[in-house]
Amino acid sequence: DAGVIQSPRHEVTEMGQEVTLRCKPISGHDYLFWYRQTMMRGLELLIYFNNNVPIDDSGMPEDRFSAKMPNASFSTLKIQPSEPRDSAVYFCASTSWGQPQHFGDGTRLSIL
Amino acid sequence: SQQGEEDPQALSIQEGENATMNCSYKTSINNLQWYRQNSGRGLVHLILIRSNEREKHSGRLRVTLDTSKKSSSLLITASRAADTASYFCATDAAAAGNKLTFGGGTRVLVKP
């Protein structure tokens, strides 16, 4: 039974480059969440989707961040241009209404 | 600021001992959830307790909820080395739909 799948697991790139993180939610889940985890700020919700529609993007730090969900089985989080302060672990999670969230194993992003 | 705040931030115990951690929150909730995160992995859901419940058990886990004090506790009995992880509480607030707000976590080290 496949869980939430994120790719890549690790990404190292230079500042100014575009970064794209990918997520495949669990089949049948209609909610998808993107989180960022850092030592300083803990786990922060960036954006979430319901039925592929963005519902709340108030956690997206700035215009350099964008997220899309073109269909029920795929979502991307893009950072352009990337900055060193974007270094963090980014998690995707999916769920159905009233159920616990299922997390992927995250993408560890390092911006040099 | 975070809805949930865990206490203590870190805990070190011997295998076989019990581990207790607490979570306080600020606003009315639909439910409160506890998650575990092993190093380098995503969060895994442990247990959900609804606002009208006071106590819940799952295996060696016992969760209590006191809505009058806006607090919850997680007890792990007869701890094992494999219980070494970070534990997070997350609140599903009444006005926030399916959005969770996570606390800063408690790092638990179980020494063999």
Task: Mean pLDDT check: name the lowest of A5-19, B48-62, B97-111.
Answer: B97-111
Q: Is pLDDT of B1 > 70? A: no
pLDDT tens, residue by residue, A95-111? 998 889 999 999 999 99
Q: Is pLDDT of A32 > 50? A: yes
Question: Which residue from A56, A40, A19 is spatially nearest to B93, judged by alpha carbons?
Answer: A56
B104 vs A contacts (CB less than 8 Å): 42
pLDDT tens, residue by residue, B6-42? 889 999 999 999 999 999 999 889 999 999 999 999 9
Average pLDDT, integer, range B77-102: 88
Task: Mean pLDDT check: name the lowest of A18-27, A47-56, B3-12.
Answer: B3-12
Residue A86 sits at φ, ψ, to 5 deg, of -80, -5
Residue B112: asked if its preceding bond is cis (omega within 30°), the reply is no
- Cα gap B87→B74, rounded to integer Å: 9
Q: What is the dihedral of CA A75, A79, A84, A89, to 10 degrees?
A: -10
Specify the pLDDT at position B2: 47
Minimal-distance CA residue of chain B relative to A57: B99
Specify the pLDDT at position B3: 60
Chains A & B: contacts with CB separation below 8 Å: 44
Question: Which residue from B51, B48, B17, B21 is spatially nearest to B35, judged by alpha carbons?
Answer: B48
Give strand pairing partners of B31. B50, B92
A104 vs B contacts (CB less than 8 Å): 42
Using CB atoms, pick whichever of B33, B97, B102 lies closest to residue A43: B102
A55 vs B contacts (CB less than 8 Å): 97
Specify the pLDDT at position B17: 97
What is the percent of chain B where pLDDT is above 90? 81
- Cα gap B90→B98, rounded to integer Å: 11
What is the percent of chain B where pLDDT is above 70? 92
Average pLDDT, integer, range B70-83: 97
Output the average pLDDT for chain B. 92
